[in-house]
Amino acid sequence: MATLTITLTEAVTLGDGSTDRGTTNTQTETVNEVSHRIMDVGTNFIDIIKFGAAASAGTFKDASVQYLRITNLDASADIFLRVSQADAEYFVKLEAEDHFLLGNSLMNAIEDGDGSSTIGTTYDAPTAIDKISAKSSSGTIQVELFVACQD
């Protein structure tokens, strides 16, 4: 087992030049596997990360992910992420050089017209994400993936 240390820092000096705002937060996770990849993404959605009952080529084991980061490496184009499970999905826009972070591989999304959900007052039973897909807003651009798992 290894220890993954995650450090997030925001540093801001306000317009008066003397007022600093920002924080640094650090957390550690015990992990056994790490995957790091830089890949090209075009203008059609392609699967970039998959999740399943067991780890395999390009697939991470459900409930094993401790940290996941997707970074848009392009300086001008956007990336659109589609986070999916069997009957629901949500979308995220990553602007140039932006990041998307997850601390696990669970989600809960509401389908249009689903009046049975209590999301907003409680967190309904989340289920495993099946896959994350990505596409670019313009041409082929690069995305960086970093995933750390317990097993």
Neighbour order of strands in the sheet with 46-52: 59-61, 46-52, 131-136, 79-85, 88-94
User: For residue 76, is it within any domain?
Assistant: yes
| Domain assignment of residue 116, yes or no | yes
Query: What average pLDDT does range 86-114 have in this prediction?
Result: 83
Confirm whether 78 is domain-assigned.
yes
- End-to-end C-alpha distance for the chain, whole angstroms: 9
**Banded model confidence at residue 60, pLDDT cuts 50, 70, 90:** very high
Q: Evaluate whether residue 6 is within a structural domain.
A: no
With contact defined as beta carbons under 8 Å apart, do 151 and 33 qualify? yes
State mean pLDDT over 90-104.
93
Domains in the chain, number: 1
Would 75 be classed as within a structural domain? yes
Region 96-125: what's the mean pLDDT? 70
pLDDT at 121: 47
Report pTM: 0.86
- Structure token digits, residue 110: 């509401």
Residue-wise pLDDT tens digits, 3-48: 999 999 998 888 777 777 889 999 999 999 999 999 999 999 999 9
CA distances, 34 to each of 19, 27, 129 (Å): 39, 16, 18
Confidence of residue 123 (pLDDT cuts 50, 70, 90): low
CATH of the domain at 145: 2.60.120
Q: Which amino acid is at 123?
A: Y
- For a pLDDT cut of 90, what percent of the chain falls above it? 62
Whether 122 is in a domain gets the answer yes
Q: Collect all residues with Cβ–Cβ distance below 8 Å to 58 and sequence separation of at least 6.
A: 49, 50
Residue 15 located in a structural domain: no
For residue 80, is it within any domain?
A: yes
Q: Which domain holds residue 125?
A: 31-149
